[in-house]
Amino acid sequence: MPQRLITALVLVIVLLAAAVQAGCWDLRQAEDLGYVMATAVDRTPQGLVKLLVQVPNPRALAAGPRGGVTPGASISSKAFRNYEVVGRTIFDAIRAAAHQSPKRLFFAQNRTVIFSEDLARQGLGDVLDFFGRSVEIRRRLNRVFVAKGDVRKILNVPNPHGVCPALRIDNIVRWRGQTSHFAAVPLSKVLETLSLDGQEPFVGVIEAVANPTATPRVRKDLSMEPPLTITLTGAALFRQDRLVGFLNEPETRGLLWVLNEVRGGQLVVPGPGGKGQIAADIHGGQATIKPELTDGRIRMTVEISVVGDVAEAEGPFDLSKPEVAKEIDRLCAAAVRREVLAAVAKAQEVQSDVFGFGEAFRRRFPQEWKTIKDDWPEIFPGVEVLVKVDAEMIHHIGMISKSRAISVP
Query: Which residues contribute to the site for another protein (CB under 8 A)?
Result: 1, 3-5, 7-8, 10-11, 14-15, 18-19, 21-22, 24-31, 33, 35, 37, 56, 58-59, 61-62, 64, 66-72, 106, 108-109, 111, 135-136, 138-141, 163, 167, 174, 188, 191-192, 195-196, 359-360, 362-366
The least distance separating another protein from the CB of residue 79, rounded to whole angstroms, comes to 10
Residue 1, classed as helix, strand or coil, is coil
The least distance separating another protein from the CB of residue 111, rounded to whole angstroms, comes to 8
CB closer to another protein, 203 vs 324? 203
The least distance separating another protein from the CB of residue 352, rounded to whole angstroms, comes to 19
The least distance separating another protein from the CB of residue 250, rounded to whole angstroms, comes to 25
The least distance separating another protein from the CB of residue 164, rounded to whole angstroms, comes to 9
The least distance separating another protein from the CB of residue 126, rounded to whole angstroms, comes to 17
Residue 337, classed as helix, strand or coil, is helix
> Which contacts (CB < 8 Å, 24+ apart) does range 187-192 have?
187/113, 187/131, 187/132, 187/137, 187/138, 187/139, 187/140, 187/142, 187/143, 187/144, 188/139, 188/140, 190/128, 190/144, 191/128, 191/131, 191/132, 191/139
The least distance separating another protein from the CB of residue 353, rounded to whole angstroms, comes to 16
Rounded CA-CA distance 115/154 in Å is 12
DSSP 318: B
CA distances from 113 to 81, 142, 188, 262, 273 (A): 16, 6, 12, 22, 47
CB closer to another protein, 59 vs 242? 59
- DSSP H or E run through 132: helix 125-133
The least distance separating another protein from the CB of residue 26, rounded to whole angstroms, comes to 5
384-392: strand order across its sheet: 265-270, 277-294, 297-314, 384-392
Q: Which residues pair with 80 in a beta bridge?
A: 56
Nearest to 233 by CA among 153, 347, 119, 147: 147
Query: Which residues neighbour 206 within 8 Å (Cβ) at sequence distance 6 or greater?
Result: 114, 145, 146, 147, 148, 154, 169, 230, 231, 232, 233
